[in-house]
Amino acid sequence: MGLTAAGRRRHESRMSANPDNRIPADVSPMDLALEEARQAAQRDEVPVGAVIVLRAERRIVARAGNETEARQDPTAHAEMLAIRRAAEALGRSRLTGCDLYVTLEPCAMCAGAIAHARLDRLYFGATDPKGGAVLHGGRLFAQPTCHHRPDIYDGLGESDAAALLKQFFAERR
Ligand SMILES: [Zn+2]
């Protein structure tokens, strides 16, 4: 929001020097998720990023990008890694009071993990008609066997998230 380049640099250094990971008022958690997605692309991973925020304190408890290639682990999606790291950081298996921001509509595995983690809210960027399981496919949270349904907000940072994915796959075609 109208930050000069110098102001942005000051801002970023304040973020990294910030020991309790509070998010400045003019930064959206989705911007941080997009940053994770960009870093994933640089590692040759599908560019998806996620952050988990303890809402009342506006504090980041975990952030992650895809690491399926680096870890040779098909479950190492950004959301899975962020959920594990958040549970570890908070020392509890239920992430009540936390919100997940992810750049792409979660797949069935990650949607299941979000339900198990009892995350309050799910914010996602681009929709994924081929692999998503929130608005597409199995629509996991709408199933009667799903025991926890987060509040869902889609389309946040959608164009940036979609552009990253499109560029990534175009370069690899
Ligand atoms: Zn997933």
pLDDT in tens, 13-43: 444 445 678 999 899 999 999 999 999 999 9
* For ion ligand 1, residues whose CB falls within 5 Å: 77, 107, 109-110
Higher-confidence position of 170 and 15: 170
Ligand 1 centroid to Cα of residue 73, in Å, is 12
Q: Which residues contact 82 (CB under 8 A, 6 or more apart)?
A: 50, 51, 52, 62, 63, 64, 100, 102
- With CA atoms as reference, report the closest residue to 153 among 111, 81, 99: 99
Ligand 1 centroid to Cα of residue 11, in Å, is 31
Ligand 1 centroid to Cα of residue 52, in Å, is 15
Classify strands 59-65 and 98-104 as parallel, antiparallel or unpaired.
unpaired
For the chain, the straight-line distance linking the first and the last C-alpha, in angstroms and rounded, comes to: 36
Reported as a single tens digit per residue, the pLDDT across 88-126 is 999 999 999 999 999 999 999 999 999 999 999 999 999
pLDDT value of position 121? 98
Q: Would you name the residues annotated as active-site residues?
A: 79
pLDDT value of position 1? 42
CA distances to 62, 82, 92, 126, 138 from 34, rounded to whole Å, are: 14, 14, 26, 11, 26
Ligand 1 centroid to Cα of residue 111, in Å, is 7
- For 112, the token pair is 């299941």
Ligand 1 centroid to Cα of residue 95, in Å, is 18
pLDDT value of position 20? 77
